[in-house]
Amino acid sequence: MPADLNDYFKKRNGGNGNNNDGGDNKNFNVKMPNFDVNNKKLTPLYIVIVVVILLIIAKPFTIINSGELGIKATAGKFEPNALEPGLHFFIPIIQDIIVLDAKVRMISYSSTEQIGGTGMYQQKVISGSISNAPSIITKEAITVKDASGLDFNIDLAVQYQLNRDNTPNTIAKWGLDWENKIVDQAVREVVREVAGKYNVELIPQKRSEFADEIKHGIENNIKSQEGNPVTLRSVQLRETIFPKNVKEQIERVQLAKQQAEITKNEVSIAEENAKKLVAQAQGEANAAKTRAQGVADALKIEADAKAYSNKEVAKSLTNQLLELRQIETQAKFNEALKENQNAQIFLTPGGAVPNIWVDSKSAKKSTTVSQ
């Protein structure tokens, strides 16, 4: 403090440190420190105080939090490397630090209000950083036309993230409104192009194909951007919203297809039953045929066996065997004549066993015995 300030307090206190302000006020002494600008011991303190005051007023630093990154601009030119989380200094007036959200962000296209605010935001540089922007941006559902020109709305959510390596170049080229120019534009362009390939009545049954085509289209569009500014995290088709008349038409088409499917199933069941009956009849016919063939085979086997047996027997009937059989038979007849001497027996040679005629004494009765 300058020396004349000490003189001021001395004069105010009457030169002796007493304050006489009427009889009602008490006297007191004020002892002020010696603020001598020529005092070399106090010079560093003055410098520190001035520096602190300048820091408070100018605030030439900023703090970048986790999930954020910064871009330092010197005289309007961005430095090529983004600033990582931490404390960073800059030169006021000449330099600025723009803080950006590097976390995963989302644009929600919906016909209903979602959490996170509505509408788009405008990023602004305030005291070396941008204002905090919501991580979820909601927009109106995208209105599109199908292949026949009917209007309907697409409700979807797109998640994306700044590419940290190329952030300075991205902001330099697209500006702080990069989300509108890169992500939002790509989404609207692809969704309208894909929707124009389909008829609305086919979209519900081809929902998976429809959603995949939108997702891959947005991915390819964003990847084709120079410098790879954004990384796409996900695309989720939540709903396709049709006008009332279109919805009724879709319901009628679906009902007709369901009825056709039921009829088709019934015809298929009838055909299956008919095939079963044919197969059953064919099986029974094959079984009967098999049984008949089995009987025929058995008879043939039996006949073949008899024929073979007869053939083998015939082979065994030699002249010597026949003569032996005849002698054996004659011996038996001789024995019989011993017991019945009146019997008349005629032998007819030939064959395996001779024919025997017996003529009894009675002329009225004759018996033929054949062995």
367 CA to centre of own chain: 105
CATH architecture of 62-242: 2-Layer Sandwich (3.30)
**Cα→Cα distances 264→252, 254, 271, Å:** 18, 15, 10
Record the tokens describing residue 175, joined without a space. Answer: 């500006």
**Angle at the Cα of 273 from the Cα atoms of 271 and 276, rounded to 5 degrees:** 110
Region 120-148 average pLDDT: 67
Record the tokens describing residue 215, joined without a space. Answer: 């997702």
What are the domain boundaries of the chain? 3-58, 62-242, 247-316, 319-369
Distance CA 357, CA 344 (A): 8
Distance CA 195, CA 222 (A): 19
Q: Is the pLDDT of residue 226 over 50?
A: yes
pLDDT tens, position by position, 171-213: 999 999 999 999 999 999 999 999 999 998 888 889 999 999 9
Burial class (CB within 10 angstroms; exposed 0-12, middle 13-18, buried 19+) of 345 = middle
How many residues in total does the chain contain? 371
How would DSSP label each residue in 92-148? TTTEEEEEEE-S-EEEEEESS--TT-SB-----EETTEEPP--SEEEEEPEEEE-TT
pLDDT tens, position by position, 36-53: 555 566 678 778 887 778
Neighbour count for residue 160 (Cβ, 10 Å): 23
pLDDT tens, position by position, 308-324: 777 777 776 677 766 77
Q: Is 159 helix (H, G, I), strand (E, B) or coil?
A: strand
Cβ neighbours for 118, distance < 8 A, ≥ 6 positions apart? 138
Of the pLDDT bands very low, low, confident and very high (cuts 50, 70, 90), residue 28 is: very low
272-276, 326-330, 366-370: lowest mean pLDDT where?
A: 366-370
pTM: 0.54
Neighbour count for residue 107 (Cβ, 10 Å): 20
pLDDT tens, position by position, 323-343: 777 777 777 777 777 776 666
- Quickly tell me which residue has 């995963």 as its tokens: 104
